[in-house]
Structure 1
Amino acid sequence: MIHLITGGVRSGKSRYAQDMALSQSAHPVYVATAKVWDNDFAQRIEKHKNDRGPAWINYEEEMYVSNLPLDGHTVVIDCVTLWLTNFYTENEYDPEKTLAAMKQEVQLLHQKAGTFFIVSNEIGMGIHADTVVGRKFADVQGWINQHIAHIADTVTLMVSGIPVVIKKS
């Protein structure tokens, strides 16, 4: 089962995903896809780790999430945007290669038994990127969000900390 949770920056996506996972499992899995880019980001990651607490089984995987032992678990994957960024840089900012690699990972996850809460960002609702690389990334982000939403059982849009279910199978 896949639940896509999307929305803007600081809309409450991660907290909502974590709360949902904890309501279904005493020991859910948290998959962090972030790469540490600078000191500020390292501090954000540490805060996220400390906020989760001891109930969680934690994995850090920047790209190949499907290789993790996730079968049969309740899993939060946080987040698609950082995960996609890792593929985007690895594929030298090629939108087609990036999208193909991400779709393959999502399909492999979709084949696993378990409940997946996948957190993503609606970056296309924000400021328009001022570089070609940024605009292409926004396009790829939108396309992968559409792909995940299509196969997801539920899609929830977070608005100011309020979950708005926009798809329920």
Structure 2
Amino acid sequence: MALAVVGGGRRCGKSRYALALASAHGPRLGFIATLQDTDEESAEKIAAARRERGMEFVTVEEPIEVARLIEERSHLFDAVVVDELTVWISNLVMAGRGDAEVEAEAARLMQAAVKGPSEIVMVTSDVDFGFAVDPEASRQFRRLAGLVNRQMAEAASRLYWMVFGVPKRIR
């Protein structure tokens, strides 16, 4: 159907806006959460996100196999939110995936999102706006995140940038 990308810095309302965009497409709503519960901060963020989504979204927590989930299950939903693309990239890097593997998986995800039967709303962070990563993998992560963000933005039929909680439509 179509791909919408919602980007911005940390804590700027990207997820909230993505939920609203998805909700406009119908009552059958899916949510793919990529953040893993690794510490107190991530556990609190996951709990807050669950409360915000409520019961209207069917949620699958999947840190790695996002493309496969969209390929296999997106037909069950009017819209699916993927939250969060740069967290997903970080998960792949931390799992030891090389550049070529990450790029191939990102291409697969983009194809699944664009060609699938559901509206896909992808949430992503700009890595130049305070996104923290492990120092050892930061160069690889930043390069891959920038590349994948550009590719997703090019493929998106709608592109939004969040500024202080206010969405700005770019395309």
The count of residues paired between Structure 1 and Structure 2 equals 166
Task: Quote the residue 1:53 is aligned against.
Answer: 54
Distance 1:17 1:83, change over 3 A: same
Per the normalisation by structure 1, the TM-score is 0.88
Task: Quote the residue 1:99 is aligned against.
Answer: 103
Root mean square deviation, CA, Å: 2.0
Higher mean displacement: 132-141 or 112-121: 132-141
Pair 1:30 & 2:34 matched: no
Task: Quote the residue 2:94 is aligned against.
Answer: 89
Distance 1:128 1:87, change over 3 A: closer
Percent of counterpart pairs with the same letter? 26
Query: Moved runs in structure 1, 4+ residues, more than 6 A?
Result: 127-130
Per the normalisation by structure 2, the TM-score is 0.87
**What CA deviation, in whole Å up to 9, does each residue of 1:83-138 have, x standing for no partner?**
1111112235x333322222222223322111011000001244798945212211
Q: 1:145, 1:8 → 2: CA distance?
A: 13
Q: 1:52, 1:26 → 2: CA distance?
A: 13
Note the residue ranges of structure 1 that are not aligned, 5 or more in a row. none
Whether the 8 Å CA contact 1:123–1:138 is kept in 2: the answer is: yes
Higher mean displacement: 156-165 or 54-63: 54-63
Note the residue ranges of structure 2 that are not aligned, 5 or more in a row. none
Task: Quote the residue 2:170 is aligned against.
Answer: 166
Task: Quote the residue 1:12 is aligned against.
Answer: 13
Whether the 8 Å CA contact 1:77–1:116 is kept in 2: the answer is: yes
Task: Quote the residue 2:79 is aligned against.
Answer: 74
